[in-house]
Chain A
């Protein structure tokens, strides 16, 4: 089996530099997609880049056997452009496809679909990924497989009732092969989470339910890796609250509720970088 490379191993300078280069290119490519389609969810995508890069380049093990491979479920499916950009860096998707995102003849859909290489669950409707992940992780354990399941959710997504259903379910199954990320970028579609439904109590809830609760800086590879390493040792389902910034690295929308911007802003941002 291909090693994820990590499992407790410290990140070398070379690896760190590689992750940075990958994330930087992916970030630029997400912003560049705005030249081709202005309706993609840029803000939510940019907040997920480092987490996706860390998982895809450092942890996710590919395997032909469904129960020995690691699964990556982007429950916050609207961050699909970030997933595609990182998958393109990994070589799963031809870079040219990125410029045809959401085009009628293109491969890449507005939200992930399993016919896209590297996509393990069709998502787009919030709140569904964790339950699916529990099913996968349970199936893996029933078969004696070695696969792990990573689920990435948003903070706004925590409003969905199904998340509660899944949160309370996972601990009953003793799923030590399930790791959830909750990206705390503090915005949901209509505005700041504080003004819509505050999320600051969430870590306490997850902990009370029985999860191993961890925190990380969602834009720092070392912090993310440390949290994943801890999570893999937890012996029970683990959730990592990742502090992120919506629109990270794109001044036109950074730390706002805005998902989108103009090609002019994108051009300016890429030239300044």
Chain B
């Protein structure tokens, strides 16, 4: 499994954000004392005047960003996913309600803060953000996806929740040819018997499962639901019709998350049998993110099991 700085989500993000600061002159980066861990520090090193550490004050951070947006600046919050949730009400009542141009870039989502345990593992954030009017929710699969999307996200107006892990980032979309567009899903593997839909690093498991399933004669498509909200209803419906079976996988609670979003689409447009793979409880500490994904059965083995059950 590729790990370390070269293929790290936060490293890729932090370096690219600092690069984008060159052309995006109004961009302001704000964090709540996690500039080093999120790699917002690269921005700080280059643009000291446009970087604010508000201290360990997430609620203040959100409304500070909202105020900056209100006078036409382009604030980007960079923080741990979990601790931004502490300010969910501020995000709801100030940022989303006034539809302000505040970007929220979160790292350490899912199980990626493996060692710190359940207090630090955000498995509910997609559900919490998805429910907010005006809010867009974006989940890149790997560093390549971050490179594709970050310049687009920075330019887009309005509140966006952009969710990343920490370092673990197996190559998923390297070599794939597509440009990121908000509201668009991407087919990263074609197939006709079954479709796996998901977002984030667990798409590595989706691809691995699809590979194994092909060997068993089950033709499996894999969809990268990069944009969770707005969601690509047409692509979801198309592949449900084409394959008749849907498995969703997410490094997030299955309640209210990506699987739920897909189910909401299919229930109204083309219901098919579905299986949901994701978290159902709090996490725990582990030596690696991979250990946690395996421990909680959010992996290719589960996909294969569910797929065989669906197809038979």
In the assembled complex, B308 has its CB within 8 A of some CB on chain A: no
Which of B58-66, B237-245, B256-264 forms part of the interface with chain A?
B58-66
Structural contact, A121 and B60, CB atoms closer than 8 A: no
In the assembled complex, A159 has its CB within 8 A of some CB on chain B: no
Structural contact, A133 and B67, CB atoms closer than 8 A: yes
Closest Cβ of chain B to A160, distance in Å, is: 8
Question: What B residues does A166 contact at CB under 8 A?
Answer: 57, 60, 63-64
Structural contact, B64 and A127, CB atoms closer than 8 A: no
Structural contact, A139 and B97, CB atoms closer than 8 A: no
Interface size class of B (residues with CB under 8 A): 20 to 34
Closest Cβ of chain B to A133, distance in Å, is: 6
Most buried by B among A66, A121, A137, A162: A162
Q: Given that A134-B64, A139-B71, A139-B72 are known contacts, is A125 also in contact with B59, CB under 8 Å in the complex?
A: no
Structural contact, B89 and A66, CB atoms closer than 8 A: no
In the assembled complex, B55 has its CB within 8 A of some CB on chain A: yes
Question: What A residues does B75 contact at CB under 8 A?
Answer: 135
- The residue on A at minimum CB distance from B97 is A122
Structural contact, B70 and A132, CB atoms closer than 8 A: yes
Question: What B residues does A140 contact at CB under 8 A?
Answer: 71
In the assembled complex, B93 has its CB within 8 A of some CB on chain A: yes
Closest Cβ of chain A to B100, distance in Å, is: 10
Q: How far is the CA of A142 from the CA of B28 in the complex (A)?
A: 11
In the assembled complex, A114 has its CB within 8 A of some CB on chain B: yes
Structural contact, A121 and B71, CB atoms closer than 8 A: no
Main secondary structure of the interface of B (DSSP, over half): helix
In the assembled complex, B269 has its CB within 8 A of some CB on chain A: no
Interface string of B130-150 (1 = CB under 8 A from A): 000000000000000000000
**Residue from B55, B67, B93 within 8 A of A125 (CB atoms):** B93
- The residue on A at minimum CB distance from B66 is A132
In the assembled complex, B235 has its CB within 8 A of some CB on chain A: no
- The residue on B at minimum CB distance from A128 is B63
Q: How far is the CA of A139 from the CA of B75 in the complex (A)?
A: 10
Q: How far is the CA of A162 from the CA of B91 in the complex (A)?
A: 13
B23-60 residues at the A interface, CB under 8 angstroms: 28, 49, 52, 54-55, 57, 59-60
Question: What A residues does B64 contact at CB under 8 A?
Answer: 131-132, 134-135, 138, 166, 169
Closest Cβ of chain A to B72, distance in Å, is: 6
Interface string of A87-126 (1 = CB under 8 A from B): 0000000000000000000000000011000001110110
Structural contact, A162 and B63, CB atoms closer than 8 A: yes
Structural contact, A162 and B60, CB atoms closer than 8 A: yes
Structural contact, B72 and A121, CB atoms closer than 8 A: no
Q: How far is the CA of A165 from the CA of B64 in the complex (A)?
A: 11
Question: What A residues does B54 contact at CB under 8 A?
Answer: 165, 169
Closest Cβ of chain A to B49, distance in Å, is: 8
Question: What B residues does A138 contact at CB under 8 A?
Answer: 52, 64, 67-68
Closest Cβ of chain A to B86, distance in Å, is: 10
Closest Cβ of chain B to A42, distance in Å, is: 23
Question: What B residues does A142 contact at CB under 8 A?
Answer: 28, 49, 73
Interface string of B111-128 (1 = CB under 8 A from A): 000000000000000000
A165-202 residues at the B interface, CB under 8 angstroms: 165-166, 168-169
Structural contact, A139 and B94, CB atoms closer than 8 A: no
Closest Cβ of chain A to B151, distance in Å, is: 23
In the assembled complex, B98 has its CB within 8 A of some CB on chain A: yes
Q: Given that A122-B97, A165-B55, A169-B57 are known contacts, is A131 also in contact with B68, CB under 8 Å in the complex?
A: no
- The residue on A at minimum CB distance from B54 is A169
Closest Cβ of chain A to B29, distance in Å, is: 13
Closest Cβ of chain B to A127, distance in Å, is: 7
Closest Cβ of chain A to B85, distance in Å, is: 15
In the assembled complex, A56 has its CB within 8 A of some CB on chain B: no
- The residue on A at minimum CB distance from B71 is A139
- The residue on B at minimum CB distance from A142 is B73
Structural contact, B60 and A165, CB atoms closer than 8 A: yes
Closest Cβ of chain B to A122, distance in Å, is: 5
Q: Given that A124-B93, A134-B64 are known contacts, is A143 also in contact with B59, CB under 8 Å in the complex?
A: no
In the assembled complex, A136 has its CB within 8 A of some CB on chain B: yes
In the assembled complex, A161 has its CB within 8 A of some CB on chain B: yes
Q: Given that A136-B68, A139-B71 are known contacts, is A161 also in contact with B59, CB under 8 Å in the complex?
A: yes
Question: What B residues does A165 contact at CB under 8 A?
Answer: 54-55, 57, 59-60
5 tightest Cβ-Cβ pairs between the two chains A and B: A135-B67, A131-B63, A165-B60, A139-B71, A165-B57
Listed in ascending order, the chain B residues whose CB lies under 8 Å from chain A are 28, 49, 52, 54-55, 57, 59-73, 75, 89-90, 93-94, 97-98
